[in-house]
């Protein structure tokens, strides 16, 4: 596998590079569980620069760096940086790259992370660009699926609920289309249906999909249920979505070996009572995210080749 430079899009990955990456992730999973980590990022510094709120993505990148012996400059509140004085994103990147070995960047504008990477002389990892993509989340969603379901081909995956604005839905759908015979079911209110860009992409990849507002029939068929909240910050108005809440009363409909994923935060799209069901894998999913981000940081900072 060629060393990864910037991580900006799911487009950068092929089935083969994903399989290679997941071999590294599995080794890291073992390492963390046996020893907590190692020193392969000793004397390396990572900046986490978040222009949008984050709990999991920022904390897991920080923990990932520290578990590999590196240190972090964590900027979670850009109101306290020169951004508040009017400094451009590009100049902030040019500044941080003087001090660190890699920048993890989240920004509310689609394309902003790519633009930042164009002025950077060090690797930039996208932690999400607005309603665009969230490639590292998709990598951890895929790794979770592999670990929990045991395969990445021949899957029926049901997606809900705000398919129009969710960057994690887009990125995970793109990743699934790199594997064989996956069928995607998009479950949403009419106003929040999956975008034409995603449908065009899936058709090009020969990945089959259907759109429905019948959540119960989708839940019955799915091997993976991928539920994400309504992205209220990305549009004005209110779309009633009560009909798309997964409740404990739905659990009997699910296949016995199905898994429920959610990139989180969970607002009200999954009842908290569902958490007790072993098929609810969203808390385990976060842990897999730590391993995936450790493997990615090792790869981009140490320029690993195979």
Q: Which residues bind ligand NCD (CB under 6 A)?
A: 56-57, 128, 134, 137, 167-168, 228-229, 263-265
Phi, psi (deg, nearest 5) at residue 204: -60, -35
Q: Which helix (H) or strand (E) holds 218?
A: helix 215-221
Q: How far apart are CA 133 and CA 170, in angstroms?
A: 7
The residue among 97 and 141 lying less far from ligand NCD, judged by its C-beta, is 141
The residue among 56 and 83 lying less far from ligand NCD, judged by its C-beta, is 56
Nearest distance, CB of residue 161 and ligand NCD, angstroms? 10
User: How many DSSP H helices and E strands does the chain contain?
Assistant: 9, 9
The single residue listed with the structure tokens 């994690």 is 168
The residue among 56 and 94 lying less far from ligand NCD, judged by its C-beta, is 56
Nearest distance, CB of residue 136 and ligand NCD, angstroms? 8
Q: Which residue minimizes CB distance to ligand NCD?
A: 263
Q: Which helix (H) or strand (E) holds 133?
A: none
User: In whole angstroms, what separates CA 261 from the centre of its chain?
Assistant: 11
| Dihedral-angle region of residue 195 (phi above 0 means left; psi in -120 to 50 means alpha; beta otherwise) | beta
The residue among 50 and 209 lying less far from ligand NCD, judged by its C-beta, is 50
Q: How far apart are CA 230 and CA 72, in angstroms?
A: 31
Q: For residue 156, give both structure tokens.
A: 């029926």
The residue among 97 and 113 lying less far from ligand NCD, judged by its C-beta, is 113
85: Cα within 13 Å, side-chain hemisphere: 6
Nearest distance, CB of residue 213 and ligand NCD, angstroms? 20
Nearest distance, CB of residue 56 and ligand NCD, angstroms? 4
Nearest distance, CB of residue 10 and ligand NCD, angstroms? 14
Residue 289: DSSP 8-state: H
Nearest distance, CB of residue 106 and ligand NCD, angstroms? 7
The residue among 3 and 265 lying less far from ligand NCD, judged by its C-beta, is 265
């Amino acid at each position: 596998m060629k060393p990864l430079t910037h991580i900006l899009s799911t487009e950068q990955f092929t089935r083969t590079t994903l399989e290679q990456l997941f071999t590294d992730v599995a080794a890291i999973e073992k390492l963390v569980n046996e020893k907590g980590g190692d020193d392969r990022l000793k004397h390396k510094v990572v900046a986490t620069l978040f222009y949008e709120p984050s709990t999991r993505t920022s904390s897991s990148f920080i923990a990932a760096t520290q578990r590999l012996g590196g240190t972090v400059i964590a900027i979670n509140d850009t109101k306290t940086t020169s951004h508040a004085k009017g400094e451009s994103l590009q100049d902030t990147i040019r500044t941080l790259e003087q001090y660190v070995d890699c920048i993890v960047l989240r920004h509310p504008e689609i394309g902003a992370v790519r633009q930042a990477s164009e002025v950077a002389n060090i690797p930039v990892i996208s932690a999400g660009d607005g309603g665009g993509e969230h490639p590292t989340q998709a990598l951890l969603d895929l790794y979770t699926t592999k670990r929990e379901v045991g395969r990445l081909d021949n899957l029926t995956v049901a997606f809900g609920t705000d398919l129009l604005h969710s960057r994690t839905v887009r990125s995970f759908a793109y990743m699934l289309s790199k594997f064989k015979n996956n069928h995607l079911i998009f479950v949403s209110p009419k106003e929040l249906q999956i975008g034409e860009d995603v449908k065009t992409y899936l058709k090009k990849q020969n990945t089959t999909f259907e759109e429905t507002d019948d959540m119960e029939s989708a839940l019955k068929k799915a091997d993976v249920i991928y539920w994400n909240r309504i992205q209220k910050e990305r549009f004005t108005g209110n779309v009633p979505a009560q009909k798309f809440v997964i409740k404990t009363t739905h659990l009997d409909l699910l296949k016995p070996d199905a898994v429920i994923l959610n990139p989180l935060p969970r607002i009200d799209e999954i009842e908290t009572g569902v958490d007790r069901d072993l098929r609810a894998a969203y808390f385990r999913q976060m842990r897999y995210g730590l391993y995936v981000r450790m493997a990615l940081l090792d790869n981009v900072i140490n320029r690993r080749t195979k």
